[in-house]
Structure 1
Amino acid sequence: MIIVGVDGSRAGLEAAGWAATEAALRRTPLTVAHAVPRWVCEALSHRYADVARWMRDEANSVLVAARDRALRERPAIVVETTLLPGDPRTALIKAAEQAELLVVGGHGIGGVRGLLVGSVAHGVAAHARTNVVVVGERPATPRGEIVAGTDGSPHGLRALDFAFTEAELREVRLRVVQAWAWPRPGGFVPADPENEQHTLQQLQDLLAERQERHPNVDVVPEVVHGHPIEVLKEAAEGADLLVVGSRGHGQLAGMLLGSISQALLHHSPCPLAVVRA
């Protein structure tokens, strides 16, 4: 099952459309979810019963619009709708505990295009225990490629597994990018061809086993000298999906969302998958 959280915004509808395609590829049902304050779901006899009834009607309209968008994208999938009580971040995280994937829009009601990612998207990406896809920008004409960032950490390896599976499902090329840079005061260590070649060989060795398991996936390993955030942003321009791990090297224990994935939540030029360990 895939769950997509919607809120009545355009971003939510875009997320529903993206999730519908993913559900069709995985041959799994799609649940469209919308959260409302808990008191709205309580008995109709309380003091604000009329307000609660009106809010439920509005919430159902949001669900119907998102369901219709999903079915326009992929008419053959099974779509269910559900109303979740409570804070949308907490409610979606709990609802998605057994899901294959949790999908949300990058900006919610009142979000400003090009600025910070919505609080719900950031909250679920940081704390959900399942894999999360944040659908912000969607290229008008995707180039038929998935980009995965890796740093050799266990979290990065899980992201690679996810990326290979996605590339195989979508029948597109997979570009695996490793940013090659060592920081020092005032900037990064200059590029060294010998070190770059060594890093590329390590990356190819890392990919060899996964290529055997996914022989139909066209894989392009790439080592780029530069800051990981800038490197991945540039590599993902026009891509179908950018895939990163939830934490990489150098992150503090207990922090689910590493600095790279957190920055890309705000700046990814295409849908972003944050893969859990």
Structure 2
Amino acid sequence: MTDGDRRPVVVGIDETTESQAALGWAVEKARSAGVPLRVVTVDPAAPPPLELADSDAVASSAALRQRHDAAVEYAQGQLGRENVSARLTTGRPAKVLVAEARQAELLVVGSRVRSATSAIVMGSVGAATVAHAACPVVVVRISTEIAPADRIVVGIDGSHQSDAAVRFAFEQATERGVPVAVVHCWQPYGYVDPIRWEHGVLEAEQQRRQDWIRQNIAPLAKEFPDVEHTAELVEGHTSTELTERSRRASLVVVGSRGHGGFAGLLLGSVSQNLLHHARCTVAVVKARP
């Protein structure tokens, strides 16, 4: 594959501190994956004619341009000028980033946080890119945990999107040299009336699911032999369990909308919940067509 054929990591830059964290994450991803980086900054409104321009709006646009130039300079210093491209434009940020994602390996954006104890504030840009980008989207959050563990947690449910998420998790673990925790959540009494459970049925179903998890990740364990991994069957709601585990992780990965091998798990709602409540960076992965 030539340099021109390599899909870039695209990172969205704005005026927030969180976008700087996204830039750092994207630079490290591009470096470890050996792919180019594309820095994209979108001014939400085209400047009006000079005689009608509001001084605050002009100052804001100038500050955004400075932030963009600084981001490009930093990225080039880390990766080399030949490995960094840039785009500074006006328009709707979400629309521009979704369009950029069509030719991207990965799209990286920042999140905004009210406080250490509150949920992530997902703006329209973050929500739209996660919903509509053709590539995986990483929403970077600056961890508020005192000592977050450097591991990757991934949810699995048997859908194609979930399979893509697990592969993404193993790839990230290989690049970063960290372990992976594969988690499958279920609620047994949500599937069958407890009155209908005969002796040994629950234990047999648990064993079946544990065997399924091991079989599902066995090919990836063989493909990525250096990745330490665990497989866990958890009784509980997927959103709750993954959010809790995000306290002890540097990255949580989910499929964009998984409703597959085991009925009742809808990772669309799970991904949205994690984007608002996870305590670490979240990657939302779609299976490429």
Q: Give the structure-1-normalised TM-score.
A: 0.84
Aligned to 1:224: 234
Sort the Cα spacing of 1:270 and 1:51 in 2 relative to 1 into closer, same or farther, 3 A: closer
1:30 aligns with 2:20: no
Q: Distance in 2 between matches of 1:81 and 1:55?
A: 20
SS in 1 for 2:78: coil
Sort the Cα spacing of 1:70 and 1:49 in 2 relative to 1 into closer, same or farther, 3 A: same
Alpha-carbon distance, 1:195 to partner: 2.1
Sort the Cα spacing of 1:157 and 1:257 in 2 relative to 1 into closer, same or farther, 3 A: closer
Q: Distance in 2 between matches of 1:257 and 1:152?
A: 11
Q: Distance in 1 between matches of 2:154 and 2:166?
A: 7
CA RMSD across the alignment: 3.0
Aligned to 1:5: 12
Alpha-carbon distance, 1:134 to partner: 0.3
Aligned to 1:145: 151
Identical aligned pairs, as a percentage?
35
Q: 2:78 aligns with which of 66, 75, 79?
A: 75
Give deviations 1:28-73, integer Å, cap 9, x for gaps.
2222211114533x9x7886498886554322112134345656xx
Sort the Cα spacing of 1:112 and 1:68 in 2 relative to 1 into closer, same or farther, 3 A: farther
Q: Distance in 1 between matches of 2:194 and 2:92?
A: 42
1:144, 1:240 within 8 Å by CA — same for their partners in 2?
yes
1:39, 1:52 within 8 Å by CA — same for their partners in 2?
no
1:12, 1:66 within 8 Å by CA — same for their partners in 2?
no
Sort the Cα spacing of 1:183 and 1:133 in 2 relative to 1 into closer, same or farther, 3 A: farther
Q: Which has the larger displacement, 204-213 or 27-36?
A: 27-36
Aligned to 2:109: 104
Q: 1:60 aligns with which of 55, 58, 65?
A: 65
Select the structure that is richer in helix.
2
Aligned to 1:118: 123
Give deviations 1:135-172, integer Å, cap 9, x for gaps.
12435644231111010111101111111111111111
Q: Which runs of 5+ in 2 are unaligned?
A: 1-7, 261-265
Aligned to 2:4: none
Q: Distance in 1 between matches of 2:267 and 2:67?
A: 29
Q: Which runs of 5+ in 1 are unaligned?
A: 251-255
Alpha-carbon distance, 1:95 to partner: 1.6
| Letter aligned with residue 149 of structure 1 | G
Q: Distance in 1 between matches of 2:186 and 2:53?
A: 58
